[in-house]
Amino acid sequence: MSYSPYSLSFDFFGLRRIMKFKTIEWKGDHVRLLDQRKLPQEIRYLECRDAPAVAKAIRNMAIRGAPAIGVAVAMGIALAARKIRSNRPEIFWKKMEKVCHLMGETRPTAVNLFWAIERMKRALNQLHSEDVEGLKSKLEREALRIYREDLKINHKIGENGKILIQDGDRVLTHCNAGGLATAGYGTALGVLRAAWAEGKRFHVYVDETRPLLQGARLTAWELVQEKIPATVITDNMAGWLMEKGKINLVLVGADRIARNGDTANKIGTYGLAVLANWHQIPFYVAAPTSTFDPNLSSGNDIPIEERAGEEVTHMGGRRVTPGGVKVFNPAFDVTPHSLIEAIITEKGILRKPFIKSLRKLKTK
Amino acid sequence: MSYSPYSLSFDFFGLRRIMKFKTIEWKGDHVRLLDQRKLPQEIRYLECRDAPAVAKAIRNMAIRGAPAIGVAVAMGIALAARKIRSNRPEIFWKKMEKVCHLMGETRPTAVNLFWAIERMKRALNQLHSEDVEGLKSKLEREALRIYREDLKINHKIGENGKILIQDGDRVLTHCNAGGLATAGYGTALGVLRAAWAEGKRFHVYVDETRPLLQGARLTAWELVQEKIPATVITDNMAGWLMEKGKINLVLVGADRIARNGDTANKIGTYGLAVLANWHQIPFYVAAPTSTFDPNLSSGNDIPIEERAGEEVTHMGGRRVTPGGVKVFNPAFDVTPHSLIEAIITEKGILRKPFIKSLRKLKTK
């Protein structure tokens, strides 16, 4: 399945423009990223010319979303390899070790990052070559493979999941699990795109997703481009909408899923899952199988990133809170498997008990 | 019990200042309000020189919080009376009718507003005087009585409720039910002030309370002044904090309470109450008895104000959402009585069933 960049007509300050975007692109001597921090107000691309620049873009969330981070990490490693001037294998291997470590330190929760590093390492190890140029090409091919695979996987998740969306549905989503969070198309938004393409008509409620507003800024932007009707709400409105019967399913992405199905995702997801359960609304997770962490038996062991307090205290560069007050800013939470109705993957829809359905998946 | 304005030491942009503030003051020929829209960054007072100016300040939320709105409405009516130049009773009564109508149209959910209008009308009707100057004085005295009573009531709520706070507690609050939401001292924050004054030591988590950030801006500001340790969180973090055992009680204010105890309060309160119930954390409401609406048997009939979408789409004057996306912005929600552990009033702590405890209160 091939993937073309979004064609979009975008009305900004009354100015009608046609534009195309790609979340991330391999440009040979650099990696080009759509800077998501200023979207949708500014369409700005970052050109990362070395691995530290890619690592910085991941850390400061110019690029975010577990699958997109995986792709960025792979491209960052391929870029680092390319920039090594020495032809001596021992220097090459040492520098590769270093860049993998650098990438592994960027963000702790999304497991796709570590999965991508492992894939790049495996690609290297398979070769065991003394030919440094050969190794560089090998890494570049592997990064591009990860990118193309992610696109295919997203489309497959969409195809698998669209059966869960019905005409007239009112879907609540949180954060951004869209084309911007992946190589393209999206996981949760991929499901919505596939259902929409099939002619199903529904309405999407989008949690704005404080503190960084990935819902209000990114998900809303993607849905407007697709002409899928969408309503942005503040995060604290979700419960009331459920109580008023305005939501009939919740659909989110994931940053890391333990063997039992416990799912780490953007902060606020856990609260939504409790609220959905309370109101007997099904709660779905959409994610590639690379988001499963085979090393963790439960979500208790998923490391939760805490980010800078300024994300909460400041808005648009201006402080809103008074001096002297503390801030707590966990970027993720963990939703227990018991609150998840199903997990939509590229290999099919997993039902409870996830520990069994996941095991079955592996033997397929 | 007398009340003195807050003495506070306030560190702003590194500049240490000592200041005093009053939420609202009767100045004879005008009403002086602390403009809460710019707090805590700017300390600006509004001088409302006629009733439409007071009505505007209520509508645009320069002053907000159910009890404070009640006081503002009373002062606005007294001010309108004072500004009437005619000594002809029929003109005076007609203009009074008009100003009461104007005040009644400002905001629909907080019942204290209508309660204050009724009190002012009753004060007028008791007199049945032809002496217009006498009526003006009567209204002024009644407005000042409502103001002073609210201060007393808040202190009484604090005294009654402080028993519910224990040393070491971690209290979650939402929006601002503080001195800024009342004539002073506060309802939910009044309880915390009274407990703190008694020497109890605890920590307060403050929901930032989107869209207008009354938690991050106003509650945090009040708590910093009182030197009560406080941590601001985004609204979507509350569930995760509860799951992690970091919250052991929730305490909020109210905008209108039906006869059965169903409580309208700032949007997000309902979701918190569900989350508290899920985690077996007691959920308390603190409010004066003027917040009870004797006309409503349940919360289903409480009108919920919808405010402008710009409150959600814009931050600090800048648009954050893309064009073409809808917004839903209900300002309040209704928490069913079943989720409320107790309601703290100036007349005592009401326990379930509220319909009974409320009836008993009236016969006291």
Q: How far is CA B134 from the centre of its chain?
A: 31
CA distance to B280, B282, B323, B338, B356, per residue, from B353 (Å): 19, 15, 48, 9, 6
Mean local confidence (pLDDT), A104-130: 90
Q: Is the pLDDT of residue A213 over 70?
A: yes
Range of the domain at A174: 160-362
Spatial distance between the Cα atoms of A299 and A360, rounded to a whole number of angstroms: 20
Strands A283-286 and B31-34: unpaired
What DSSP letter does each residue of B4-65 carry, written as one string?
-PEEEEEEETTEEEEEEE-SEEE-SSSEEEE-TTSTTT---EEEE-SHHHHHHHHHTTSS-S
B36, B175, B240, B319, best to mutate vs chain A, most A CBs in 10 Å: B240
* Under 8 Å between Cβ of B154 and B182: yes
Q: Is the pLDDT of residue B144 over 50?
A: yes
Task: Show the beta-strand stretches assigned E in chain B.
Answer: 6-12, 15-21, 24-26, 31-34, 45-48, 170-173, 203-207, 230-233, 249-252, 256-257, 263-266, 283-286, 314-315, 318-319, 326-327, 332-335, 342-345, 348-351
pLDDT at A126: 78
| A216 and A261 part of one domain | yes
Q: Is the pLDDT of residue A26 over 50?
A: yes
Q: How many residues does chain B have?
A: 364
- Structural tokens at position B303: 């009108």
- Structural tokens at position B285: 């409401």
Residue B363 pLDDT grade (very low, low, confident, very high; cuts 50, 70, 90): low
Residue B114 pLDDT grade (very low, low, confident, very high; cuts 50, 70, 90): very high
| A86 and A170 part of one domain | no
The CA-based angle B213-B218-B223, given to 5 degrees, is: 130
Spatial distance between the Cα atoms of A242 and A251, rounded to a whole number of angstroms: 14
- For residue B235, which residues of chain A lie inside 8 Å, CB to CB? 210, 234-236, 268
pLDDT digits (tens, 9 = 90+) for B269-312: 999 999 999 999 999 999 999 999 999 999 999 999 999 999 99
pLDDT digits (tens, 9 = 90+) for B38-79: 999 999 999 999 999 999 999 999 999 999 999 999 999 999
Residue B20 pLDDT grade (very low, low, confident, very high; cuts 50, 70, 90): low
Q: How many CA atoms lie within 13 A of A283 on its CB side?
A: 24
What DSSP letter does each residue of B296-326 carry, written as one string?
-SSGGGS---B--THHHHEETTEE-SPTT-E
pLDDT at B128: 67
Distance from CA of A36 to the nearest CA of B (A): 12
- For residue A314, which residues of chain B lie inside 8 Å, CB to CB? none
pLDDT at A21: 74
For residue B78, give the 3-state DSSP assignment: helix
A325, A332, A333, best to mutate vs chain B, most B CBs in 10 Å: A325
* Under 8 Å between Cβ of B221 and B255: no
Active site residue A255: yes
Ranges A156-165, B81-90, B208-217, B233-242: which has the least confidence: B81-90
* Under 8 Å between Cβ of B230 and B220: yes
Kindly state whether B199 is in contact with chain A, defined as any CB-CB distance less than 8 angstroms: no
Q: Which residues pair with A222 in a beta bridge?
A: none
pLDDT at A363: 62
Residue B341 pLDDT grade (very low, low, confident, very high; cuts 50, 70, 90): very high
Query: Is B312 in contact with A234 (Cβ distance < 8 A)?
Result: yes
Ranges A125-139, B90-104, B183-197, B214-228: which has the least confidence: A125-139
Mean local confidence (pLDDT), B309-329: 93
pLDDT digits (tens, 9 = 90+) for A338-348: 999 999 999 99
pLDDT at A8: 40
Q: How many CB atoms lie within 10 A of CB B266?
A: 28
- For residue B16, which residues of chain A lie inside 8 Å, CB to CB? none
Residue B364 pLDDT grade (very low, low, confident, very high; cuts 50, 70, 90): low
For residue A101, give the nearest of A140, A63, A55 by alpha carbon: A55
| B33 and B146 part of one domain | yes
Count of domains for chain A:
2
pLDDT at A359: 86
Query: Is B326 in contact with A232 (Cβ distance < 8 A)?
Result: yes
Distance from CA of A301 to the nearest CA of B (A): 13
| A118 and A259 part of one domain | no
Spatial distance between the Cα atoms of B72 and B266, rounded to a whole number of angstroms: 19
Spatial distance between the Cα atoms of A199 and A217, rounded to a whole number of angstroms: 26
Distance from CA of B149 to the nearest CA of A (A): 30
Q: Is the pLDDT of residue B241 over 90?
A: yes
* Under 8 Å between Cβ of B103 and B75: no
**Closest residue in B to A313 (Cα–Cα):** B216
Spatial distance between the Cα atoms of B23 and B32, rounded to a whole number of angstroms: 8
Ranges A57-71, A151-165, B14-28, B203-217: which has the least confidence: B14-28
Q: Is the pLDDT of residue A18 over 50?
A: no
| A202 and A142 part of one domain | no
Query: Is B234 in contact with A235 (Cβ distance < 8 A)?
Result: yes
| B174 and B221 part of one domain | yes
pLDDT at A364: 58
pLDDT at B360: 87
| A147 and A170 part of one domain | no
Of A207, A255, A262, A293, catalytic = A255
Spatial distance between the Cα atoms of B285 and B358, rounded to a whole number of angstroms: 14
| A126 and A169 part of one domain | no
- For residue A312, which residues of chain B lie inside 8 Å, CB to CB? 208, 216, 232-234
User: What's at B140, amino acid-wise?
Assistant: E
Distance from CA of B147 to the nearest CA of A (A): 27
The CA-based angle A33-B314-A317, given to 5 degrees, is: 60
Identify the DSSP state of A296.
-
Identify the DSSP state of B248.
S
- For residue A212, which residues of chain B lie inside 8 Å, CB to CB? none
pLDDT at B96: 94
| A175 and A47 part of one domain | no
Ranges A166-170, A296-300, B105-109, B121-125: which has the least confidence: B121-125
Residues of chain A with pLDDT > 90, as a percent, come to 87
Residue B17 pLDDT grade (very low, low, confident, very high; cuts 50, 70, 90): very low
pLDDT digits (tens, 9 = 90+) for A232-286: 999 999 999 999 999 999 999 999 999 999 999 999 999 999 999 999 999 999 9
pLDDT at A139: 96
Mean local confidence (pLDDT), A211-230: 97
- Structural tokens at position B319: 């648009």
| B326 and B344 part of one domain | yes
Which B residues, 269 through 308, put their C-beta within 8 Å of a C-beta on chain A?
270-272, 274-275, 278
Classify each residue of B140-154 as buried b or exposed e, where b means 16 or more C-beta atoms within 10 Å of its C-beta. bebbeebbebbbbbb
Q: Provide the CATH number for the domain around residue B32.
A: 1.20.120.420
Spatial distance between the Cα atoms of B246 and B276, rounded to a whole number of angstroms: 12
Last residue of a domain, one of B85, B120, B155: B155
pTM of the model: 0.94
User: What's at A22, amino acid-wise?
Assistant: K
pLDDT at B272: 98
Mean pLDDT value across chain A: 92
Distance from CA of B233 to the nearest CA of A (A): 6
Last residue of a domain, one of A108, A135, A155: A155
For residue A131, give the 3-state DSSP assignment: coil
Q: How far is CA B211 from the centre of its chain?
A: 17
pLDDT digits (tens, 9 = 90+) for A57-75: 999 999 999 999 999 999 9
Kindly state whether A199 is in contact with chain B, defined as any CB-CB distance less than 8 angstroms: no
| A89 and A225 part of one domain | no
- Structural tokens at position B94: 């007609």
* Under 8 Å between Cβ of B190 and B162: no
Mean local confidence (pLDDT), A352-362: 89
pLDDT at B15: 37
Query: φ, ψ for residue A249 (rounded to 5)?
Result: -160, 150
Last residue of a domain, one of A138, A155, A172: A155
* Under 8 Å between Cβ of A177 and A187: yes
Spatial distance between the Cα atoms of B121 and B123, rounded to a whole number of angstroms: 5
| A310 and A276 part of one domain | yes
Residues of chain B with pLDDT > 70, as a percent, come to 93
Spatial distance between the Cα atoms of B264 and B333, rounded to a whole number of angstroms: 5
The residues of B annotated as belonging to the active site are: 255
A-B contacts at Cβ under 8 angstroms:
197
Q: Provide the CATH number for the domain around residue A303.
A: 3.40.50.10470
